Each structure stands twice: as structure tokens, then as C-alpha cells.
Amino acid sequence: MIRKITAFDIEALLSIEKQCFTQLWTAKNIEDAIENQRNILLCICQQGEICGYIFADFVLDEVNINRIAVAPDCRNCGIACRLLEELEKYVGGFAECIMLEVRQSNTAARKLYEKNGYETVGLRKGFYSEPFEDAVLMTKFLKKMEH
């Protein structure tokens, strides 16, 4: 089941954060994201437990994925693809594109995004720390719905 994230989910999200990232979001970061009306925060649950999530925000017709994570013991089951598809459905009526940054060394994530229609559009030098690394900019261009 995919649903919107609420404040009740923060502890589960923090647990996944610790398993997936070196630079962690805090409970306060997540609380602020939940309260911001320009954010889209979705999670996927299996057997009542959150196993993955996606955090995105938007300005006008551009959406930016800030975070996507799948618990290590739930990977390679299509969860990240389902989250990307759900985000696309959610923003398809107004968004022209969905953008993200990914570590240059994260070939698994880059392949996932490419498989889902994202293309490399640039590089951000020194974007990441812990460890220091460049970010690959990727964008999926959406067909805007006619009104």
C-alpha cells in the first residue's frame, strides 16, 4: 500500500534513513517536510511496516526528488519503481519534469532511474560530502496533460 506520510511515521523513516544514508535527515527535517504544502511525501507499506519512501517538492511545474529510500531487506522487489510511478501519477497533471541528484558512484540507483525514463542532464561538482562526491543530475520530462 502506498500512502501519504504522517508525523506518526517519523520513527520508522529515521530507522530506514540510518540504513541507507551517510547524511541523515533528522526528525525535525521530516516534521518540517510534512508541514510544508509544497512537499509530496509518500511511503510504501508491506505487512503494516514502512519499507520505502519518497520525498519530493515542487515549484510551479518542476518537481524535485529530495529523498528516496528502500529498507535493505526489501530491495530488488520493485518498491523504488512503484514509488517513482506513484509520484509521477501524483504530479502528472501539473508537472513538466521530475528532477533529482544521485551520487556519481551509485550505479544501481542511476540504472533504476534510467529504467524509469530519467536521463542524465548534468553534473554538480562536489555536491555530496561524507564522502565527498559529485552528483549526477537526472530529469524525467513528462508530457503535460492538455486542459
Adjacent-strand bridge partners of 98: 63, 140
What is the reported pLDDT for 147?
45
For the chain, domains (ranges, CATH) are 2-141 (3.40.630.30)
Note the pLDDT of residue 131. Answer: 86
Which residues in the chain come in under a pLDDT of 70? 144-147
Q: State the Cα–Cα distance between residues 36 and 3, nearest whole angstrom.
A: 17
Q: What is the value of pTM for the model shown?
A: 0.91
Q: What span, in angstroms and rounded, lies between the C-alpha atoms of 47 and 32?
A: 27
59 by Cβ neighbours in 10 Å (0-12 / 13-18 / 19+) ranks as exposed
